[in-house]
A and B are shown apart, each in its own frame.
Chain A
C-alpha cells in the first residue's frame, strides 16, 4: 500500500515505526484452482452494518458481514483518520470489493463467495494483540468452508 515517497515525512515515519514482527514460521499451502475456491474478505477498514456497534479506539473485536449484505448497509467507524475516506464515501468497492467478487462469481472465475466476511478496526493496537480474535475468525472461516481469504488493509 502506498508509495513511501508520496507521504509527508511525518506520515512516513509514523508508518515505518509501526511494530511489524515477522511471522515466526512460513506456512504455505497450495490449493485448488481459483474457480473452485470459496472466497471471503477480511478487512481492517472498520466496516460494519449500520445497526452494529461502532468500533472504538483500541478495539480488538470484529464485525460479521453477511455474504449477501447490501453494500448500502455498510458504514465505516475505523479509528484512524490518517487515510482517505472520500473514496469509500463514493464507492464501497474501493475498500471492500464485494461487487467485483460477485461479478467474478457470476462469471465462474471463483467457486463461491463465503457466507460471511469479517471486519476489524486495524488501528490503535499491536498486531499480536489480535491473535485471539484472529484465531477465532480463522476457525469460523474454516467452518464456512473458506479456502481463499482476501486480507485487505486500508
Chain B
C-alpha cells in the first residue's frame, strides 16, 4: 500500500492501484503487464532525489466492482443447503470428478498447473482433509516429508488451486471476487475448508492450529464462518 511505502521510504517505488496478488495488473494482459514493467524499470533512469514514489496511472483491465462479469462455473453443483445430498466426502469427490476435464483443459492451454504443494493427488488431498476434520484436527499424516501442518496447508492450497484452475479454463474474463465467492459459497470443498477452521483451531498439533488460524480462510471470506 502507498501508505506503508511512504513510511519505508525506499529509493525508488512505483505504486500500482491493483488488487493484492496482482502486481502487474491482470492475467493474460500482455501489453498491460509490459506497460507496468516498463514504468517500474524507467525509475532506474531517474536521477533523484530519493525517494522517488511514482503512481501508475491506470487501473488493471477488468478491475473493480463495476466489472463483475456475471461469470458462472462451467459445472453446476447442488446448492449447499439442498436436502437429500450425499455425505460431504462423496460430494467433494463428485465435484472433483466433474471438474477434472476442465482442470486438464486449463493445464493444457496454459502448459502448467500450480498443483503440487501437498505432494499428493487431489483426491487424496480431499480424503486427507476430510479425515482431519472428522478427527478434530489430528490424523495420520500421509506425507513422509512434510509435517502434519504442512500437509494440511498444502492439501488445502491444492484444493483451492484445482477448483480455480478448472473454473477459469474457459476463455473470458472473471473477477477474483466472483471466483472466491463461488469456491467458498457454492462448493462442497469450500464447505469442508470452512468446517476445518474451527475444528483445527482445537487441534493438539501446533502446526495445524497455526494453519487454521491464519492460512486457511481468506480475510475477505471470514464472514462465512459466522453463518453457523
**In contact, A57 and B34 (Cβ under 8 angstroms):** no
Q: Name the segment of B87-95, B124-132, B133-141, B216-224 touching the other chain.
A: B216-224
Chain A interface residue count, CB cutoff 8 Å, equals 68
**In contact, B17 and A3 (Cβ under 8 angstroms):** yes
**In contact, A84 and B8 (Cβ under 8 angstroms):** no
**In contact, A31 and B28 (Cβ under 8 angstroms):** no
Chain A residues with CB below 8 A from B76, complex form: none
Judged by a CB distance under 8 angstroms, whether A115 is at the interface is no
Judged by a CB distance under 8 angstroms, whether A142 is at the interface is no
B contact set with A: CB distance below 8 Å: 1-5, 7-11, 15-30, 33-34, 36-38, 40-42, 44-45, 47-51, 64, 110-112, 114-117, 146, 150, 153-154, 157, 160-161, 164-165, 168, 174, 176, 179-180, 210-211, 214-220
The CA-CA distance from A16 to B217 in the complex, in Å, is 20
**A54-B154, A85-B161, A90-B27 known; 17 other A-B pairs, CB under 8 Å?**
A2-B1, A3-B17, A11-B219, A14-B219, A26-B51, A28-B11, A34-B45, A57-B211, A71-B112, A77-B154, A80-B214, A84-B180, A85-B164, A90-B168, A91-B28, A151-B10, A154-B21
The CA-CA distance from A127 to B29 in the complex, in Å, is 31
The CA-CA distance from A86 to B21 in the complex, in Å, is 8
**In contact, B19 and A84 (Cβ under 8 angstroms):** yes
**In contact, A87 and B176 (Cβ under 8 angstroms):** yes
Judged by a CB distance under 8 angstroms, whether A152 is at the interface is yes
The CA-CA distance from A20 to B7 in the complex, in Å, is 6
**In contact, A79 and B8 (Cβ under 8 angstroms):** no
